[in-house]
């Protein structure tokens, strides 16, 4: 029986220091729950000379990964320094050394998750990655354990706290995008370089992870259709409100007999939909199962302590497996072959905002483009622009395929009566 479980921490930034605080301040609770104490033995950092406010003694810090991998008192490696190649290599070496791994790295898990999980199986080690998705929401553990007996058919939700914070400030406080982003950065919800967040890549990585796990089928990052916040034009949020909608950066994953479809993009939700009222840095995900129906998971999706809490929960799970002697016993292979839908197999309602010349006959000519492509229209509204010779036409379709949607947009862009397609959105939750 082990008398103590040793932890090797890779990185001591916002999340790493948060993990250290939780392990220190909750040590009595952890010891009670596990039966043995959990101690951080070594911490890998880049600069040993940097001054740090921490309860850990100075001699635990090192700039050599070998110090952690060769330390027999370390049972679990916790990777929280982020990035891609360096982190992937460190996790590979840890697993090959027979040490369990806990990571918050969505970048690595989205791209290399399958091979790392396979490596964990080969070496009889655990690999936990709860904190890679959803901040403080226990999504992955729920999908792996709580809903293991069900067949998941779809996921829909907000999985990036930064973009949700920005959109909340823009809608409710009428801040500009730049003002909202600056506030998110100041509060620590946005990275110094927010490109991955606002471009939708961060959410796409998370959706690839969730979809792969939910559907027991490999979903690659390139399989995810991505549109970023730059697709949101001036006036769109106010226009959405006029029609009873709220704009959210949403991730969606669906599976049926035709295959899997996964997307991340700005979406129109009816104002009465629960996701429309998820504000600030919070995340929320709907999971639909064949048996359980629809369940919703809600919680903080950004910030150091929510993420550190998820990391620590994985540490506790890995510790329990070690103490029970069942570490590395989970099977991570996918049940189904990869099968991704084509655009003509993906269906939704769409909102199109088009600037046109304000003249007789334009509406009928543009409606003919929809009809030609088999796209049925539910709503057509003209917004005239006072003192100008153009107008905005709003078309809301019935359910059409993404191919029909894109074909219509391409024809509209070249129509002589059209000044430009100003914006377009998928409509969810009607």
Report the pLDDT value the prediction gives residue 51, as an integer from 0 to 100.
81
Residues 120 and 150 in one domain: no
Whether residue 181 is contained in a domain is answered as yes
Residues 245 and 393 in one domain: no
Report the pLDDT value the prediction gives residue 137, as an integer from 0 to 100.
85
Would you give the distance in Å from CA 282 to the centre of its chain? 12
Question: Which residue in the list 88, 171, 206, 346 is annotated as catalytic?
Answer: 206
Q: What is the mean pLDDT of residues 124-135?
A: 89
Task: Give residue 15's domain range.
Answer: 5-135+305-324
Taking each continuous run of H as one helix and of E as one strand, the counts in the chain are 14, 17
Q: What is the mean pLDDT of residues 95-115?
A: 94
Confidence of residue 347 (pLDDT cuts 50, 70, 90): very high
Q: What would the DSSP string read from start to end of 101-166?
A: EEE--HHHHHHHHHHHHHHHHHTT--EE-GGGSSTT--HHHIIIIITTTS-EEEEEEE--HHHHHH
Q: Which of 233, 268, 301 is the last residue of a domain?
A: 301
Q: Is the pLDDT of residue 355 over 80?
A: yes
**Cα–Cα distance, 282 to 131 (Å, whole number):** 15
Paired with 354 in beta bridges are 393, 421
> How many domains does the chain fold into?
3
Residues 261 and 348 in one domain: no
pLDDT tens digit string along 44-94?
Answer: 998 887 888 888 998 999 999 999 999 999 999 999 998 899 999 999 999
Q: What burial letters (b/e) apply to 36-65, b meaning 16+ CB within 10 Å?
A: eebbbbbbbbeeeeeeeebebeeebbbeeb
Confidence of residue 360 (pLDDT cuts 50, 70, 90): confident
Residues 286 and 217 in one domain: yes
User: What CATH number is associated with residue 251?
Assistant: 3.30.360.10
Report the pLDDT value the prediction gives residue 301, as an integer from 0 to 100.
72
Residue 319, SS3? helix
Residues 278 and 199 in one domain: yes
Whether residue 360 is contained in a domain is answered as yes
Tell me whether strands 293-300 and 282-289 are parallel, antiparallel or unpaired.
antiparallel
Q: Which of 275, 293, 324 is the last residue of a domain?
A: 324
Q: What is the mean pLDDT of residues 158-180?
A: 95
Q: What is the mean pLDDT of residues 165-184?
A: 95
Whether residue 69 is contained in a domain is answered as yes
Report the pLDDT value the prediction gives residue 146, as an integer from 0 to 100.
84
Residues 162 and 295 in one domain: yes
Residues 54 and 174 in one domain: no
CB-CB contact of 60 with 41 (8 Å): yes
Residues 205 and 350 in one domain: no
pLDDT tens digit string along 238-259?
Answer: 999 999 999 999 999 999 999 9
Residues 162 and 235 in one domain: yes
Whether residue 9 is contained in a domain is answered as yes
CB-CB contact of 226 with 265 (8 Å): yes
Confidence of residue 302 (pLDDT cuts 50, 70, 90): low
Report the pLDDT value the prediction gives residue 328, as an integer from 0 to 100.
84
**Cα–Cα distance, 275 to 7 (Å, whole number):** 38
Whether residue 178 is contained in a domain is answered as yes
Whether residue 334 is contained in a domain is answered as no
Confidence of residue 29 (pLDDT cuts 50, 70, 90): very high
Active site residue 88: no
Whether residue 338 is contained in a domain is answered as no
pLDDT tens digit string along 188-215?
Answer: 888 888 999 999 999 999 999 999 999 9
Rounded mean pLDDT of the chain? 92
Report the pLDDT value the prediction gives residue 303, as an integer from 0 to 100.
65
Exposure of 200 in the CB half-sphere (CA atoms within 13 A): 22
Residues 85 and 224 in one domain: no
pLDDT tens digit string along 375-427?
Answer: 999 999 987 776 677 889 999 999 999 999 999 999 999 999 999 999 999 99
């Amino acid at each position: 029986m082990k008398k103590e479980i040793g932890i090797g921490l890779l990185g001591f930034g916002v999340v790493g220091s948060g993990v250290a605080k939780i392990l220190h301040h909750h040590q009595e609770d952890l010891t009670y729950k596990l039966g043995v104490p959990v101690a951080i033995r070594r911490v890998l950092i880049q600069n040993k000379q940097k001054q740090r406010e921490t309860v850990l003694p100075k001699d635990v810090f090192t700039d050599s990964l070998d110090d952690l991998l060769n330390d027999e008192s370390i049972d679990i490696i916790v990777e929280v320094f982020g990035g891609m190649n360096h982190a992937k290599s460190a996790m590979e070496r840890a697993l090959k050394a027979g040490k369990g791994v806990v990571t918050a790295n969505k970048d690595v898990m989205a791209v290399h998750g399958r091979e790392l999980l396979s490596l964990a199986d080969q070496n009889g080690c655990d690999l936990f990655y709860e904190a890679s998705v959803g901040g403080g929401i226990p999504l992955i553990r729920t999908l792996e354990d709580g809903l293991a007996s069900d067949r998941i058919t779809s996921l829909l939700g907000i999985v990036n706290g930064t973009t949700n914070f920005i959109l909340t400030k823009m809608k409710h406080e009428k801040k500009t995008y730049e003002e909202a982003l600056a506030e998110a950065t100041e509060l620590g919800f946005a990275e110094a370089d927010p490109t991955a967040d606002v471009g939708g890549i961060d959410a796409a990585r998370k959706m690839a992870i969730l979809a792969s796990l939910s559907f027991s089928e490999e979903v690659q990052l390139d399989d995810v259709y991505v549109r970023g916040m730059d697709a949101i034009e001036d006036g769109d949020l106010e226009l959405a409100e006029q029609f009873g909608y709220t704009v959210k950066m949403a991730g969606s994953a669906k599976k049926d007999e035709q295959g899997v479809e996964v997307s991340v993009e700005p979406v129109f939700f009816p104002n009465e939909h629960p996701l429309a009222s998820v504000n600030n840095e919070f995340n929320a995900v709907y999971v639909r199962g064949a048996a359980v129906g629809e369940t919703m998971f809600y919680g903080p999706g950004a910030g150091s302590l929510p993420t550190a809490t998820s990391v620590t929960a994985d540490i506790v799970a890995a510790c329990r497996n070690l103490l029970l002697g069942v570490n590395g016993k989970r099977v991570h292979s996918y049940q189904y072959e990869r099968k991704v839908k084509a655009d003509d197999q993906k269906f939704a309602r769409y909102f199109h905002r088009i600037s046109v010349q304000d003249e007789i006959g334009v509406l009928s000519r543009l409606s003919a483009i929809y009809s030609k492509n088999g796209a049925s229209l539910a709503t057509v509204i003209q917004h005239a622009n006072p003192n100008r010779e153009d107008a905005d036409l709003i078309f809301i379709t019935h359910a059409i395929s993404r191919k029909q949607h894109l074909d219509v947009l391409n024809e509209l862009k070249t129509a002589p009566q059209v000044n430009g397609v100003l914006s377009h959105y998928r409509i969810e939750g009607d």
